[in-house]
Amino acid sequence: MSAVDCVPPRRRWLLDLAPLRESPAYRRFWTSGVAGGIGTQLTAVAIGIQVYQLSGTTAAVALVGGLALAPMIVVGIFGGALVDAFDRRAVLVVASSISFIAPIGIAALSWSSVRVLWPYYVFTTLSSTVGSLVGAARFAIHPRLVDRRLLPAVAALSGISAGLQTAVGPALAGLLVAAVGFAWTYTVDVALFLVGFWGILSLPPIVPTARARVGLAAITDGLRFLRSARNLQAAIGIQIATFAFGRAYALLPAVGAVLLGGGATTVGILVASTAVGVVLSGVLSGPLGRVRRQGLAMLVAAACMAGGVALFGGIVLALSIVPHHVSARLVDLPWLVAVSAALVLVGAADNVAGIFRTTMMQSATPDEVRGRLQGLYTLVLTAGPRLGDVFAGFVAATGVLWWPPLIGAVLIWAVLVGIARLRPGFRRYDAEEPVP
């Protein structure tokens, strides 16, 4: 009788917690990462609210993230080489120590009632820039803390961590800003950051498995590896497509205000719906660890995600056609439930695809280039969502809110069909014999 047969049927559907049980270092790393990530999301929302109050313009709020885009990409790419060349724990400790300056500085500005915007921009840019290096290091550390057979479960736990951060952080920011003000809100982030730093300090040394170069030559080596890694290229290509054509965030304020009613509360529920889908799919991710055809599974999950995007667009189209009353104070509850359900499906399917993508990237990538691969992937993580917001925002600027999701779904399906036809090896990718 196999170990799987000994597991009760109900538990086979639930999240595999073996990484947390078997690796105390990973357990501390994951738990502290959730706490630190909630703090980061908390400050990201609070700083946007404060900058808007100080400036009275959304353009000033856009600069909070816009100013950090270029340095994030540069540090992410070159930082990956540092992750591969030095003790990853040491890199993470140094990067996190530098990043810690940001929440302390923002809290100090708020306690001092500073109303000039540029100091806030400096600290948020510092946090986002160094955060790209922290992300590359965390990605490369995970496979060194657990056995390879547990990487799907680690990817699912990472998805749940991201979902919790996205759902809890903004909600906590709204409550704290309203209850105790900005200064105390940022102080809470400082405390959560210390919890995250504890998890990093508790890691064992994680030295490179092979000697690696630092500088442009190391980046070139990483590009050369990715150029030959056809399966990983396909996985990243799918991610780019879903980022660019499947994001609905830019539409949600308009959908809430024009079609559903209920004001900011409605928009908050819509934004949180995707995170709910991420968490639910993570909790029910038990069977994913037993899937061997991970490339095919990623294609199917991404197709389902596009289906959710199309469903969202169809419901918005129906809202535009069917007569109904829209009030700033009262939300149209049945329609809100329908739109939220579509967004839950989008978040769940996208997370499942992400679990397979992360597992493939971590298991098929040699340890000596994991940091550089994640550094290069930083381009996708930073530019992709912004491309998606631009696509949705500009197409919706015509006044037709249902057009971007329907077009986006068709484009995602077209990309998936192209990858399936042009990369048959990706469809046959076997988790037991990972080939990059």
Task: Give the DSSP letter string of 33-46.
Answer: HHHHHHHHHHHHHH
3-state secondary structure of 134: helix
Q: Is the pLDDT reported for residue 10 higher than 70?
A: no
CA 239 vs CA 156, 281, 413: distances in Å: 16, 18, 12
- Over residues 120-136, the mean pLDDT reads 89
Q: Which of 11-25, 115-129, 413-427 has the lowest mean pLDDT?
A: 11-25
- Provide the 10 A C-beta neighbour count for residue 104: 15
* 2 domain-assigned: no
Looking at the structure, do residues 96 and 52 belong to the same domain, yes or no? yes
**366-408 residue pLDDT tens:** 888 888 887 777 777 766 776 776 677 677 666 677 888 899 9
Task: Give the DSSP letter string of 229-258.
Answer: -HHHHHHHHHHHHHHHHH--GGGHHHIIII
pLDDT number for residue 71: 84
Instruction: Please tell me the distance from the alpha carbon of residue 7 to that of residue 155, in angstroms, as a whole number.
Output: 21
Indicate the residue among 196, 214, 232 that finishes a domain.
Answer: 214
pLDDT number for residue 212: 66
Looking at the structure, do residues 341 and 302 belong to the same domain, yes or no? yes
Q: Which domain holds residue 185?
A: 7-214
Looking at the structure, do residues 325 and 420 belong to the same domain, yes or no? yes
- Assign residue 330 the CATH number of its domain: 1.20.1250.20
Neighbour-count burial of 293, counting CB atoms closer than 10 A to its CB (0-12 exposed, 13-18 middle, 19+ buried): middle
Band of residue 8 on the pLDDT scale cut at 50, 70, 90? low
The amino acid that residue 147 corresponds to is: D
Looking at the structure, do residues 173 and 101 belong to the same domain, yes or no? yes
| Domains held by the chain: number | 2
Instruction: Please tell me the distance from the alpha carbon of residue 175 to that of residue 177, in angstroms, as a whole number.
Output: 6
Looking at the structure, do residues 164 and 256 belong to the same domain, yes or no? no
Looking at the structure, do residues 36 and 71 belong to the same domain, yes or no? yes
* 182 domain-assigned: yes
* 407 domain-assigned: yes
Q: What percentage of the chain exceeds 70 in pLDDT?
A: 91
Q: Is the pLDDT reported for residue 282 higher than 80?
A: yes
pLDDT number for residue 170: 80
Q: Is the pLDDT reported for residue 349 higher than 70?
A: yes
Give per-residue burial for 294-319: e unless 16+ CB within 10 Å, then b.
bbbbbbbbbbbbbbbbbbbbbbbbeb
> Between 21 and 400, whose confidence is greater?
21
* 268 domain-assigned: yes
Q: Checking phi first, is residue 399 left (phi over 0); if not, alpha (psi -120 to 50) or beta?
A: left
**145-182 residue pLDDT tens:** 998 888 888 888 988 888 888 878 887 887 888 889 89
Indicate the residue among 147, 180, 214 that finishes a domain.
Answer: 214
What are 2's two structure tokens?
Answer: 């196999």
pLDDT number for residue 347: 92
Looking at the structure, do residues 146 and 294 belong to the same domain, yes or no? no
Looking at the structure, do residues 241 and 321 belong to the same domain, yes or no? yes
Distance, CA of 12 to chain centre = 26
Looking at the structure, do residues 202 and 259 belong to the same domain, yes or no? no
Q: Is the pLDDT reported for residue 280 higher than 60?
A: yes
pLDDT number for residue 3: 45
Band of residue 33 on the pLDDT scale cut at 50, 70, 90? very high
pLDDT number for residue 102: 94
* 1 domain-assigned: no
> Between 261 and 379, whose confidence is greater?
261
- Rounded to two decimals, the pTM is 0.81
Q: Is the pLDDT reported for residue 264 higher than 70?
A: no
Indicate the residue among 186, 214, 242 that finishes a domain.
Answer: 214
* 167 domain-assigned: yes
Looking at the structure, do residues 266 and 248 belong to the same domain, yes or no? yes
Looking at the structure, do residues 197 and 289 belong to the same domain, yes or no? no
Looking at the structure, do residues 316 and 299 belong to the same domain, yes or no? yes
Task: Give the DSSP letter string of 371-399.
Answer: HHHHHHHHHHHHHHHHHHHHHHHHHHTTS
Band of residue 328 on the pLDDT scale cut at 50, 70, 90? low
**409-418 residue pLDDT tens:** 999 999 999 9
Q: How does DSSP classify residue 259? A: I
* 104 domain-assigned: yes
pLDDT number for residue 217: 76
* 87 domain-assigned: yes
Q: What is the sign, positive or negative, of the torsion defined by CA atoms of 248, 254, 258, 262? A: positive
